[in-house]
Copies of this chain bind each other. A is one copy, B any other.
Amino acid sequence: MTVTSVHDPSHREALWELEDAFERGDLISVFGRCTVSYEGRAASDLGAGDRLLVLKPDGAALVHTDEGRQPVNWQPPGSEHRAAVREGRLRVVSTRTSPAETLTVRFSDVHQLSAMAVTGGRDLTLHGSEEDLRTRILERPELVEPGFEPRETERPSSAGPMDVFGVDADGTPVIVELKRRRVGPDAVGQLARYVRALREELGAEGGGGGSDAGDSEESDSRDSDSDADGGGAPTVRGVLVAPSVTDRAAERLADRGFDHVALDPTPEE
Chain A residues packing against B (C-beta within 8 Å): 1-3, 5, 7-8, 25, 27, 29, 31, 35, 41-52, 54, 56-58, 60, 62, 64-69, 72-74, 76-77, 111-112, 114, 116-129, 180-181, 185, 189, 192, 215-222, 248, 251-252, 255, 265-266
Contact = CB atoms under 8 A, between A and B. Distances in A.
29 contacts: A2-B50, A3-B8, A25-B66, A27-B52, A29-B29, A31-B116, A41-B181, A43-B126, A43-B128, A44-B124, A46-B121, A46-B125, A49-B119, A49-B120, A50-B119, A51-B121, A58-B67, A65-B121, A67-B77, A69-B74, A72-B124, A73-B124, A185-B215, A185-B217, A215-B251, A215-B255, A216-B220, A218-B218, A221-B221
A31 B123 CA distance: 19
Contacts of A31: 3, 27, 29, 114, 116
- Copy tally for this chain in the complex stands at 2
